[in-house]
Amino acid sequence: MSKPYQTDGQMIKKAILIEKDKALSKDERDNEIKEIFAMFDKNGDGKLLNTEIESFMIAIGQKPTKEEVDELVTKMDADKNGYITIDEFLAYMDDTYVISQDQIDELIDAFKIFDIDNSGNISKEEFKNILTRYGKAEFSDEDIDDIFSMIDIDHDGTINYAEFINMWKYQ
């Protein structure tokens, strides 16, 4: 049974409330980021070098080339000293993994395009349509099932607004 259609205002409020419920305070988030930094700072010197940034990129699911690692280090290295400090890492993580209200609005607009039946949720069939129509790569049914399962956090068989927004947080 599909859920009743929600207005834009209801969708935005629901997405924001869910995001706020999941959000950590800035101090808590910063502490988690510091722990992540420490995990990749192999020698404990307070600096992340290219090899350590490469390990970080691999850990978040990327398969970086040397050029991509160098590009990320250049992007993160605000003082251009050749390594990443905890402050630079915190700034990068805040810029990269925190979604602004404007971005939430854009994602909700995109969600509505993909929510073909206007149910307020994206079904697995609608999701498959997204990947096959708009995706750059070809996906097998098994790939689609795996990806859908990772995004469908509450495992209700659909992707809701918060899950859709959460999916884009780490892109």
pLDDT the model gives residue 1: 45
Domain that holds residue 85: 26-97
Q: Considering its fold, how many domains does the chain have in total?
A: 2
88 and 55 inside one domain: yes
Between CA 64 and CA 85 the distance in angstroms is 21
pTM across the whole model? 0.49
19 assigned to some structural domain: no
Q: What is the pLDDT of residue 150?
A: 82
CA geometry: angle at 40 spanning 168 and 19, to 5°? 25
User: Of 58, 75, 97, which residue sits at a domain end?
Assistant: 97
- Do residue 107 and residue 157 come from a single domain? yes
pLDDT averaged per 10 residues, the chain (length 171) = 52 58 63 83 91 81 86 94 94 75 76 84 87 71 84 87 73 51
* pLDDT value for 100: 64
Whether residues 104 and 72 share a domain: the answer is no
Q: Is residue 3 situated within a structural domain?
A: no
| CA 23 to each of CA 73, 122, 166: distance values in angstroms, whole numbers, following the listed order | 27, 23, 11
pLDDT, residue 32, reads 76
